[in-house]
Structure 1
Amino acid sequence: MINETALLESPTLRGSVLDRTDVLDKVKALSLLPDGMHVTTAMVASYFDVGLEAIKSLVKDHRTELEASGYRLLTGEELRSFKNLSGIQSRTRSLALFPRRAVLNIAMLLRDSEVARQVRVYLLDTEYLARTQPVENPAPMDAASLDARIDQRITHVLGTTVVPMFNALIETSSEHRRELIALRAGIQRIEKRLRQHHARLQRLESPRENRPFAGVMAAMDAMIGREFEEHVAELLRRDGCTDVIVQGGGRDRGIDITALTADGRRLVVQCKRFAPHLSITSPEVQKFLGAAKVLHDSEVALFVATCAFTRDALNIARESGITAVHRGLLEEWSGGTPLSALE
């Protein structure tokens, strides 16, 4: 497994993981310029909570490496062209631009930044899992998660390029003005929905104070279904449960794990490893309720998910005595906090 020291010291290792820029958004939202692709030196410094000089010093010491990852300094005609295309208003004679790969490269070089350290921890966790897990056919939820990660970039393009283009066409066209206005309205609705989608994903993934430890949810997001069930089973054993059995297969009758709590109560668990931007809905909780109470006559029922629950789903769980272990609660449980339902 690659360790943090090796990552800080080896340009070769850093270069081998530069494509994993998604880890930046796992730790903190990275604001982009209107072109949806680059950030400035000041924006990089703000992301890592360090001063401008810290970033400038890194660029000076590692310029060749950073240029290989996409860093460039615009001047002259190239700078004027970029300002015109992106709409940036600036009187500077030069402008340093960092694509996401270069920002990730900075994270692997910057020692005195807690944000950079969290990025490295998350990166190392995901890279280790990618290297050690068997190849699996990606589930539809993984594809949806990947789509969500580019929502912000698409929104930037729609808001700064496509909509202004329609504005210009509407101003100069009389024959098709009504159709153009309708098209613009449709694009603006899409832009709004993408912003809402991205904001929801950011709320689910944003760092919070006193998180048990960085990377725990990245590890679970990388698991396949059976591995996630085994992970939950280990948490149950850690908290004193006995006779823990992972059912698995197509004959589980709606239950993934059965066990006895430390004080002897019958326990059943449903495990759902969904993408973080999805939600457990009320029909799924109702289905589990029938299996837990009717088929298994359980005294304790846990619905464990790597995502959130809808309000209706939470209400049904609360009214029926099911413990909804949502993403935040799952992270705390995995980090060592006992689950109150098992006490």
Structure 2
Amino acid sequence: MVHEGALLESQTLRASVAERTEALDKVKALALLPDGLHVTTRMVAHYFEVAEHVVNRLMQRHRDELTKSGMRTLRGSDLALFKRDILSSFSESYPQPRSNLALFTRRAVLNVAMLLRDSDVARRVRTYLLDTERAAREAPASAPVDDAVFHSLVEWLDRRIAKGVAEQSTAPEDRGREIAEEAVRSIVGRTVVPLLNQVMQSHNELRRRLDEHEAEMVRLRRVLREHEAAGSMAALDAMNSREFGRHIARLCRRDGCEQVTVTGGTGDSPAGILGYTADGRRLVVQCKARNPGSSITSGDVQRFTGMARLEYKADVALLVASVPFTRDALLVAARHEVTAVHRGLLEAWNNGAKLRALE
């Protein structure tokens, strides 16, 4: 069974259930503005029982996806008109922004439910969506029609047409039989064959979508295994560079970092992470997943410092390793204001402690 957290990780999976807005009312009644179509940011926050700034932060991180789902921002004359015609009759006292107002459709609110991590209401909506999807998949379906069945049916029609014409034809000339056969085939070609083609096209499209979903499920199972396995240092030691980098990126997001992206991490090269802390500082991270028994040297720190400060203009620089740092490496890191996340600090961070450099 797919866990509700899968919707947080997969935009493809979110898109597949984007129209199931009835899930919102199944979990909790969603109040709408007087136009019957939209809700404000405050109303979205009230529905999911979170602070308004949490929704604002989510909007910043996923603006493109939410805009495709129906979120829009009113400004200028559009905002003035909406205030006059809609919000003027709204019973709730709503402080009006001076320059813009974000509006969400029900579809956009459902999209928020599939992105919002720290909300019990959002989790219940995701669970409902996946439960109904699973029930639909498990419902009995008619057997698919494949290419072999299609061609067999056409051959059967040909035989029946030929037999029928032969039995009904009284003309001795072969030409009369050929004309009759052509007439019957023409009728079938204009009726039965197009219908069968539509059936085949629908079946092929369904098969393509099932293949896509299967590939997505494989990816999600791997992501969920990584989530489950990341509770111990042994699990971190078993990760390759790319997996280690993705896991460190998740820890950064957990501590409030935004726009977090992972670069590198192919082969034996270290993975890099770029992003911003919750208060807007530029974050640069290098992740080194090395074999137990090795260590981070002062040369490793110096190379990272030059890259982070000169190339990326980092405000916060983290060098994260699954192995210890040498004494000289720790001294160089302290001198250049690089946070050395050595094995002991990484274990505490991985087990839920917040990293002070990100606060």
TM-score (norm 2): 0.36
Name the larger-Rg structure.
2
Higher relative contact order (CA 8 A, sep 6+): 1
